[in-house]
Structure 1
Amino acid sequence: MRIVQELLFVILFAAAVYLFSKKVRQIRRNILLGRDKDLNDHPDLRWKNVFLLAFGQKKMFRNPLVAILHFFVYAGFLIVNIEILEIILDGILGQHRLFVPVLGSLYPVLVGAFEVLAALVLAGCAIFFVRRNILKLKRFISKDLDGWPRSDANYILITEIVLMVLFLTMNAADQALQARGVEHYAVTGNLLVSGLFTPLFSGFSDGTLVLIERGCWWLHIVGILCFLNYLPYSKHLHIILAFPNAYYASLEPKGEMENMPAVQQEVQLMLQPELAANAPASDTMPKFGAKDVFDLTWKNLLDAYSCTECGRCSAACPANITGKLLSPRKIMMDTRDRLEEVGRNITANGTFTDDSKTLLRDYIKEEELRACTTCNACVQECPVSISPLDIILQLRRHLVMEESNAPAEWTGMFSNIENNMAPWKFSMDDRDKWAMEING
């Protein structure tokens, strides 16, 4: 019977790892569809961002209570799952609590600490579930989250609550069996949290306790493996991607827009025509801005997969607050949805086959892009270093520079800049007349 269980576990574990690895490879391929961009400068500053923003969640601490709860859920869930190593080895080798003889008296201390974290994860998830579904904070009831995104968040919270309950119940039943000296149940010593509930199992028979303990063990590890494979399809992929996304975050000052060398060269030649003879020739016409995900950088696409859908960007966006169509959260969700659609197209056809769709217009409307004030509030608020603004600017650059598609107010400003070197309708000769009138 034990050999059958070992074989079943190995098959389940291998299948889960294979499916997870396959999806991760697809996501990596999708991200690398973006344009190349070198973001390997200043590694010291980048590692600092990883520790402060990704693991330390520095930006979250603007609201200390929520930040602490989120840190318990985030760090607690990651650390608690270290125990999965023992569970996996137990499952493969047909053992039970393999590390008890190895760690000795340290074992109950370590697992007890895991239990405290599990209890904190459980409490944090319960509070977050209430905030989303009973208190209904404004950023959680936005139409951006209608349908799957809202359900996704609840599924994750419920799953984490169930997994922690199974973990603590398994340990409590295990301790009850240890106290009775049941074979194969090594004595661990009292565990900090589950030990409080062990007396509740005193009325059960040995067979029932074994069934409860084994049932919770299987449900817990199968739940973890299912969660592992659900993760790449969920917004909770940020649990993994927050770290590389923080590392590759822009180190440029907020508000400093990226110029295109090709545009700078044209402007320079316009101002100094005599340089045209020495200007480097190019066989290809430069492409301005972005129309589809292929035109964005790989960092933009990594941003899309890293989005937590928390809505802090949209809650801080002045355009969104005043009722405009723009929602930075939706920009990121739309980019990810389009990228996933492109990925499925490539998987089905071996290479991308034109589907007559683009990120611009089919997913993100012109009105959304034009509502942006480029204030950087969304970039400032994002806890995992995402820049919706960069995507907005690239899509807007395409509209203006590739399609000559701009509102009349913008067109007038462009003409003034071209003719007068300023946004205002004053010639350069007349620009200083106000000073002459004062002196006169």
Structure 2
Amino acid sequence: MSYLDSILFAVLLVFGFGYFFSNIIKIRRNINLGIDVNRKDNPKARWKNMAMIALGQSKMVKRPVAGILHIIVYAGFIIINIELLEIIIDGLFGTHRIFAFLGTLYNVLIGSFEILALLVIVSVTLFWIRRNAIKLKRLANKDLAGFPKNDANYILYFELVLMTLFLFMNATDLHLQNIPGGFSHFITAGSYPVSQFFEPLFNGVSNESVLLLNEIFWWLHIIGIFIFMNYLYFSKHLHILLAFPNTYFADLNPKGQLDNLESVTNEVKMMMDPTADPYAAVPENTVPSKFGASDVQDLNWVQLLNAYTCTECGRCTAACPANITGKKLSPRKIMMDTRDRLEEVGKNIDANKGVFVPDNKSLLNDYITPEELWACTSCNACVEECPVNISPLSIIMDMRRYLVMEQSAAPTPINAMMTNIENNGAPWQYNQQDRLNWKNE
């Protein structure tokens, strides 16, 4: 690699990582638009969650075929990219396999990378067949129409091409290493259990041509990695990074335990305090507390982190009894809509120099309809099924709270029930004194 190539690589490196981190800063800014909530309790349980669920993929293997294939792709992609460190050093300083001094360990590493690369290619191919040929119901749902469906395929193509380029890069490297007397700066290093079968393809090709092909494969591989890395911001595969904090900050309370709204708690405390003055002057510029959520800024930051972490796998929707019976609700769509609205709000802030300008839109109605929200049975099936501990239910409940307490827009049967509780102390429409009349019948 020439001095000019090293400079070009350095520019590519700075631009690639610079754009990546600028988008990470945007994501962090958007997540912090949410209401603050304390998720620093019980660190031991949180670390265990992250290790078991994000790193160990424990919830993925509940569906063995998809789970094992996902573990192969996940492990392969993460482990193979350890070699990215060597590629960066070689690219900056024009060296060749700088870690070859590790000897046997290096040979084992490269050999393992190649086997994993082959397994990734096989797994990705099977994923493509499941998604596009077999068309599993949860992967062909209307939730995924348009970009979401294409996005999933783009990622599969990316991974297939990156692994193929990795193997052909190694095959040409091995061919140049095997030239009698040595060739250029190519030292003998590494073990190539897979690419050795591709190496004969270059027999009869001039050394200079093989060298050119090696450089082409090398450049395409590293450029592909940078493109993939920066594409994550726009893709559902952002969960590759966010699954770790998402599982760490997940709700540790038992499923079904709902949180109390602080705004409601404060109102009740004031009502019960005989010294409180309900007509006391409110400090200037104080924004009244909102009951529930109508837009993304009303959700807490963990819920917004959930939205960015959603894998769009559809396990939540496939397990949702409301969706199974034909209701409009899809927990996956709830998370996708929340992310889309959050991105819209973020772009609004970017366009207005760091300030959100009201756009007469909101998450409620413009993205998620009351019909979807009231279809939920609050059974927690979606929360149980999610492989990265996302809670669509928490968003649904907060938005239903807004409909009830801010807009009095609950369905008629629910309004009737609450009226009966207020008047009769029970959900039924008869006087308390008549409750035991059945005994006399």
Interval containing the TM-score (normalised by the shorter chain): over 0.9
What pairs with 1:51-66 in structure 2 (closer than 5 Å)?
51-66=51-66
Answer whether contact 1:109 1:191 (CA < 8 A) is retained: no
TM-score for both structures, normalised by structure 2: 0.94
Partner residue, 1:420: 424
Partner residue, 1:355: 359
The aligned amino acid for 1:420 is N
The aligned amino acid for 2:203 is S
- Of 388, 398, 405 in structure 1, the residue corresponding to residue 402 of structure 2 is 398
What pairs with 1:335-354 in structure 2 (closer than 5 Å)?
335-350=338-353, 351-354=355-358
Partner residue, 2:184: 183
Distance 1:348 1:116, change over 3 A: same
* CA distance in structure 1 between the aligned counterparts of 2:421 and 2:227, rounded to whole angstroms: 57
* CA distance in structure 2 between the aligned counterparts of 1:266 and 1:125, rounded to whole angstroms: 54
* CA distance in structure 2 between the aligned counterparts of 1:193 and 1:289, rounded to whole angstroms: 56
Q: Secondary structure at the match of 1:277?
A: coil
Count of residue correspondences: 432
Q: Secondary structure at the match of 2:258?
A: coil
* CA distance in structure 2 between the aligned counterparts of 1:433 and 1:218, rounded to whole angstroms: 84
Partner residue, 1:258: 259
Partner residue, 1:134: 133
* CA distance in structure 1 between the aligned counterparts of 2:166 and 2:436, rounded to whole angstroms: 75
Partner residue, 1:92: 92
Partner residue, 2:386: 382
**Residues 1:311 and 2:283 are matched in the alignment:** no
Partner residue, 2:161: 162
Q: Which stretch shows the higher mean deviation, 399-408 or 191-200? A: 191-200
Q: Secondary structure at the match of 2:358?
A: coil
Answer whether contact 1:49 1:246 (CA < 8 A) is retained: yes
Displacement after TM superposition at 1:45 (Å): 0.4
Unaligned runs of 5+ in 2: none
Displacement after TM superposition at 1:265 (Å): 6.0
Q: Secondary structure at the match of 2:351?
A: helix
Answer whether contact 2:383 2:389 (CA < 8 A) is retained: yes
* CA distance in structure 2 between the aligned counterparts of 1:418 and 1:120, rounded to whole angstroms: 63
* CA distance in structure 2 between the aligned counterparts of 1:93 and 1:429, rounded to whole angstroms: 89
* CA distance in structure 2 between the aligned counterparts of 1:88 and 1:276, rounded to whole angstroms: 65
* CA distance in structure 2 between the aligned counterparts of 1:57 and 1:422, rounded to whole angstroms: 45
* CA distance in structure 1 between the aligned counterparts of 2:16 and 2:84, rounded to whole angstroms: 14
Q: Secondary structure at the match of 1:333?
A: helix
Answer whether contact 2:170 2:195 (CA < 8 A) is retained: yes
- Of 285, 290, 297 in structure 2, the residue corresponding to residue 287 of structure 1 is 290
Partner residue, 1:152: 151
Partner residue, 1:300: 303
Q: Which stretch shows the higher mean deviation, 276-285 or 373-382? A: 276-285
Partner residue, 2:32: 32
Unaligned runs of 5+ in 1: none
**Residues 1:230 and 2:231 are matched in the alignment:** yes
Answer whether contact 2:110 2:191 (CA < 8 A) is retained: no
* CA distance in structure 2 between the aligned counterparts of 1:263 and 1:189, rounded to whole angstroms: 65
* CA distance in structure 1 between the aligned counterparts of 2:305 and 2:191, rounded to whole angstroms: 45
The aligned amino acid for 2:379 is C
Q: Deviations over 1:176-202 (max 9, x none)?
A: 110002121110153222123222322
Displacement after TM superposition at 1:105 (Å): 2.3
* CA distance in structure 2 between the aligned counterparts of 1:385 and 1:393, rounded to whole angstroms: 17
Displacement after TM superposition at 1:264 (Å): 4.5
Displacement after TM superposition at 1:262 (Å): 4.1
Partner residue, 1:221: 222
**Residues 1:22 and 2:22 are matched in the alignment:** yes
The aligned amino acid for 1:234 is S
**Residues 1:431 and 2:435 are matched in the alignment:** yes
Answer whether contact 2:50 2:245 (CA < 8 A) is retained: yes
Partner residue, 1:408: 412
Q: Secondary structure at the match of 1:47?
A: helix
* CA distance in structure 2 between the aligned counterparts of 1:253 and 1:430, rounded to whole angstroms: 37
Displacement after TM superposition at 1:8 (Å): 0.4
* CA distance in structure 1 between the aligned counterparts of 2:290 and 2:108, rounded to whole angstroms: 60
* CA distance in structure 1 between the aligned counterparts of 2:17 and 2:263, rounded to whole angstroms: 46
The aligned amino acid for 1:77 is F
Partner residue, 1:211: 212
Answer whether contact 2:100 2:190 (CA < 8 A) is retained: no
* CA distance in structure 2 between the aligned counterparts of 1:209 and 1:153, rounded to whole angstroms: 34
The aligned amino acid for 1:387 is S
Answer whether contact 1:320 1:326 (CA < 8 A) is retained: yes
The aligned amino acid for 1:201 is F
Displacement after TM superposition at 1:296 (Å): 0.3
Q: Deviations over 1:418-437 (max 9, x none)?
A: 12232222333333444x54
Partner residue, 2:197: 196
TM-score for both structures, normalised by structure 1: 0.95
Q: Deviations over 1:238-258 (max 9, x none)?
A: 000000000000001111111
Partner residue, 2:116: 117
Distance 1:33 1:262, change over 3 A: closer
Displacement after TM superposition at 1:261 (Å): 4.0
Q: Secondary structure at the match of 2:191?
A: coil
Q: Deviations over 1:264-315 (max 9, x none)?
A: 465678xxx8x44045868464310001110000001000000000011111
